[in-house]
Amino acid sequence: MSADQSSFNHPSFGRMTAERVIIFDTTLRDGEQSPGFSMNLAEKLRMAEALATLGVDVIEAGFPVASKGDFESVNEIARHTKGAVICALARSGGAKDIAAAGEALAPAERKRIHNFISTSPLHMKYKLRMEPETVLDLITTGNTAARNLTDDVEWSAEDGSRTDPDFLCRCVEAAIKAGATTINVPDTVGYATPEDMEKIFSMLRERVPGADQVIFSAHNHNDLGLGVANTLASLRGGARQVECTINGIGERAGNAALEEIVMALRTRHDQYPYTTNIQTTDLLKVSRMLATITSFDVQPNKAIVGRNAFAHESGIHQDGVLKNAATYEIMTPESVGWSRSSLVMGKHSGRAAFRDKLKALGYADMDDTRLNEAFSRFKDLADRKKVVYDDDIVALVDDEARDHDHIRFAALSLTSTSGKPSEVDLTIQVDGKDVQTNATGNGPVDAAFNALRLAFPHEARLALFSVGAVTEGTDAQARTTVRLEEDGKLVDGQGADADTVVSAVRAYVHALNKLLVKRARTAPEALTA
């Protein structure tokens, strides 16, 4: 799309101005491919609803042909999520892929099939083992098949940033002629620089026939820490869709972070005069929801949504902020969802005050069942702690909000004496039925994990065990992370409790539940020429 165009007609969005940027979120597809990440159906539906409320234009819900679970999740998101375009991924050369995507998307109000194939010399030779002419034929075949199922078709040149420019132009032209309405040129391995990406999009718009009739899209990975910078440069080159994820999650070092792109456009509108549909005050809430579901905390110094993003320790900085916040803050904390609430919670706080605190912390959408469970745990915690901090409540609610469909922690008793093995009596629920076990170990955590392996036999290896304090003080809650590895699959679980051993068991149980989801995942059949 030419930068000087006053408007553009799109099959899903109608007449669009040249300043409008489409936000394409791939948290549920590319983001979920992060090592250790896994979401079940209920969690994906929660995230999809949150993304739609946030104002995301296109939600890439998954890769339907990959497994029965992937197909079901795309189908259910298409059925229940309103407002956004629901997108499914498929390979250009896979007839089964295209058909599965079309079938999974059938209930959607607005739908898109996103098909892709590798175009770089390296990928064609070693991954696909195909000649360039065969790839061109499959681009035509895939986009034609997709266009027969929906008017909104996206095509991606995998490893596009390392593709020969002349061949890339031929591929894009073939995709447009076959019916693609959005053309995505990914920096699949995070190799490109901002100058590279701006040049690629400028070249395609100038050289490819029909380029003025499609939306160009940027999908940048963050291997060199340039994902967001490359995305902004792509907009300068003429892209008007950006593909990104909440918290920047994704393969390897991740994708360009949605919250960073959106706030860069808003804060530096003088340099990037573009608009999005994102409700920025919901950014923190959605970020926290994803961190809860995936068990991956956002690093403290993460831009926009890290807990230190608006913190000032330097005396000079603190003095300046007190006099005028703009001296050291280029955006307000409230603009992305942070709250300055100082409501103190304790054992005498009631349910109404607890609900108000949750709303201030970004948990306004909790259902009554989870609210009651969280309130019960809060009252128990308040009986054991003098002061309950906001971070305590966040840790407690996040732990309660995690999905434990198959396995749930019920109770634990512990006997531990220095110089002797520890002994644990553990009760968990497996599909609603109590399972009680007893085990010993070299310390209380080892004994508890041995008991878990007896209660729910499995061969997964403990790859990581980490404990941190949620707040200061000897009565602080412990937040534990457990990583399990099984047949090359990694999952991370988190748990929080004032009792460190209970926190560890909760984390292990969460990881086991995620492992059960990941076991059902399979890789699609390889393409053949």
DSSP secondary structure string, 368-401? HHHHHHHHHHHHHHHHH-S-B-HHHHHHHHHHHH
Q: Give the pLDDT mean for 100-107.
A: 98
CB 375 within 8 A of CB 388: no
| pLDDT value of position 134 | 97
Please give the Cα distance from 232 to 228 (Å, whole number): 6
Q: Find out whether 221 is annotated in a ligand binding site.
A: yes
For 158, list phi and psi in degrees, rounded to 5: -60, 135
Residue range 25-40: mean pLDDT, rounded: 86
What confidence category does residue 324 fall into, taking pLDDT thresholds of 50, 70 and 90? low
Asked whether residue 219 is marked as a ligand-binding residue, the answer is yes
Q: Which residues of 385-399 are buried (b: 16+ CB within 10 A; e: fewer)?
A: beebbbbbbbbbbbb
d(CA 513, CA 322): 47
Q: What does the pLDDT read at residue 19?
A: 95
State what percent of residues in the chain have pLDDT above 90: 64
Class of domain 15-292: alpha beta
Give percent of the chain with pLDDT exceeding 70: 90
> Does residue 177 carry a pLDDT above 90?
yes
Lowest-confidence segment of 147-151, 312-316, 389-393, 397-401 by average pLDDT: 312-316
- Higher local confidence (pLDDT), 491 or 280: 280
Instruction: Give the pLDDT of residue 374.
Output: 85
Side-by-side strand order, sheet with 433-441: 407-415, 422-430, 433-441
Q: Looking at domain 405-518, does it have CATH number 3.30.230.10?
A: no
Residue 25 assigned as binding residue: no
Q: What is the DSSP letter of 423?
A: E
pTM: 0.84
**Residue 312 marked ligand-binding:** no
The single residue listed with the structure tokens 């999740």 is 73
Other Cβ atoms less than 10 A from the Cβ of 411: the count is 11
Tell me which residue has tokens 């916040």.
Answer: 325
Query: Does 15-292 match 405-518 in CATH topology?
Result: no
Mean pLDDT of the chain, nearest integer: 89
Report pLDDT for 529: 45
Confidence at residue 485, expressed as pLDDT on a 0 to 100 scale? 93
Domain extent listing, the chain: 15-292, 313-396, 405-518
